[in-house]
Amino acid sequence: MRHLSAAILCLPLVTACLGPQEAARRTTDLGKLLEDRREAMENCAPRSLAEAEVAIEATRYHSRQGRPMEASKALDRAEAAVRSAWQQSQDNRCWKDQDGDGIPDRVDQCPALAEDLDGFQDEDGCPDPDNDGDGVPDLRDDCPLEAGTAAFRGCPPKDSDGDGLNDDVDACPNEPGSLVNRGCPYQDRDGDGVEDASDQCPDVAGDPGNHGCPYQRIQVTETQIELKEKVFFKTGKAEILPVSFPLLEEIAQALRDHPAIRVRIEGHTDSVGSDRANLRLSQARAESVRRFLISRGVEATRLVAVGRGEEVPLDDNSTEAGRAINRRVEFHILPGSP
Amino acid sequence: MASRLRRWLMIGALAGAAGCGTLRTSEVFGAATDRLEAVRVAALEDREAYRVTLAQGFLDLAREARGRGDYDEALRFARRSLEVSEAVLHSPRRILEAAPIEAVPGGR
């Protein structure tokens, strides 16, 4: 009868009355809420927390005693106190924070070490003294998020001039240079293509094959080995006169200096005598020069001897001066030679 | 006759039990009220706001229960209030604050 009366009384006030099971469920829920944030509430909302706990106890008490109206009122008080405590404890500072880094100990993976708050993995609460792990502490690292070296203040090595040498070891970091010359370009004062450092004649344009010095009696061009003097033979014969030995020695030297060059040795005569004899003599003289060069260490396969006779004169064969010019040996660099 | 005697004995036992319960509750109430007063005298309300509020809340609840005649509940709440007040009074923090370490004269 008593329960029936209570039920009837509660009918119009469904929200205001509370059955024992409902009271148990709701107080349990509130209790869990408090436990989840107890630390923050104790620090920032101690009175509300205590009021909530007492009101929860009051709810249970009245529920046990079969007073649903009283239980409901107590539960309302409990909920209001929990709400108040919840609102007062929203700030992160309400949580214990040993290292004072603003990250509560409950979520701080390093509660005793302050997070460095440098924008890199700040959520875990652990300091990251070397974000990019390059061994250069962030305090001295100009590129803390990019692995680098100490020489570049923690930044990646830089090669400003792109010569393959990093700036820290490049004596000329803004000028492309040679690795051998510590990143600086070699000087070539005489412009002969041989850097001064290895040019034995740095102020005189010379031959790269001759350590940058010019040959005395010849000049190697792209198409020929040009002679500054003539090759002398016995008159009407193919025997080379000793006076021309230094010239031929230098030609042999040039051919050794330029081992990729292949040469066609051409013999030429003036127009004195028969064509046939001149052709034979020019051939013999070209071969004589070829043999000399072979004897001085030039590979035979690089040398071709050709007699041209009198068919390619350079000057007038009617004068002695012209004929002297026409009697000659030429060294043509064969195509395909570098 | 026997049944009448038995009835009187039962009434006597019930009255005794109720009286003892009231007496016991009063003792605990007195102690809880005293301890809470001691906490207030020590001016710990702000420093120990949570526990002081809790102790006060349980004491109020105990009084309400007593007023409703729920002596067991009242006793339980009064005990909890008493425990909390005792804890405040005996907390290490309070003991340290009550006896600050002073400098030893002469530097010893």
Q: Minimal Cα distance from B73: which residue of A?
A: A61
Taking the Cβ of residue B65 and every Cβ of chain A, the question of whether any pair is shorter than 8 Å is answered with yes
Chain B nearest-CA distance from A51, in A, is 7
Domain membership flag for residue A293 = yes
Q: What pLDDT score does A17 carry? A: 62
- Residue A76 DSSP class: H
d(CA A82, CA A86): 6
Domain membership flag for residue B107 = no
B57 closest CB neighbour out of A54, A61, A64:
A54
Domain boundary among A44, A78, A94: A94
**Residue A61 and residue B65 in contact, taking contact as beta carbons nearer than 8 Å:** yes
Q: What pLDDT score does B69 carry? A: 93
Contact B57 A51 (CB under 8 A): yes
Taking the Cβ of residue A192 and every Cβ of chain B, the question of whether any pair is shorter than 8 Å is answered with no
Chain B nearest-CA distance from A113, in A, is 25
DSSP β-ladder status, A263-268 and A303-307: parallel
pTM of the predicted model as reported, rounded to 2 decimal places: 0.47
Residues 18-47 of A with CB under 8 A from B: 42, 46-47
What count of CB pairs under 8 Å joins A to B? Answer: 40
Q: What pLDDT score does A15 carry? A: 45
Taking the Cβ of residue A66 and every Cβ of chain B, the question of whether any pair is shorter than 8 Å is answered with no
Domain membership flag for residue A13 = yes
Structural domain that includes position A326: 216-333
Count up the domains in chain A and report the number: 2
Contact A47 B53 (CB under 8 A): yes
Residues of chain A with pLDDT below 70 are 1-17, 337-338
Domain membership flag for residue A120 = no
Domain membership flag for residue B42 = yes
CATH of the domain at A324: 3.30.1330.60
* ipTM here: 0.70
Q: What pLDDT score does B8 carry? A: 54
Count up the domains in chain B and report the number: 1
Contact B77 A57 (CB under 8 A): yes
Domain membership flag for residue B82 = yes
Domain membership flag for residue B64 = yes
Domain membership flag for residue A67 = yes
What is the separation of C-alpha A15 from the centre of its chain, rounded to a whole number of angstroms? 73
Q: What pLDDT score does B17 carry? A: 45
d(CA A228, CA A223): 16
Domain boundary among A29, A59, A94: A94
**Cα–Cα distances in Å, from B85 out to A226, A236, B78?**
118, 139, 11
Domain membership flag for residue B105 = no
A50 closest CB neighbour out of B53, B68, B70:
B53
Domain membership flag for residue B3 = no
Structural domain that includes position B61: 13-93
d(CA A45, CA A36): 14
Q: What is the pLDDT along chain B (108 residues), one digit of tens a residue?
A: 455 655 555 554 444 444 445 556 788 889 999 898 888 887 778 888 999 999 999 999 999 999 999 999 999 999 999 999 999 888 765 555 555 545 445 443
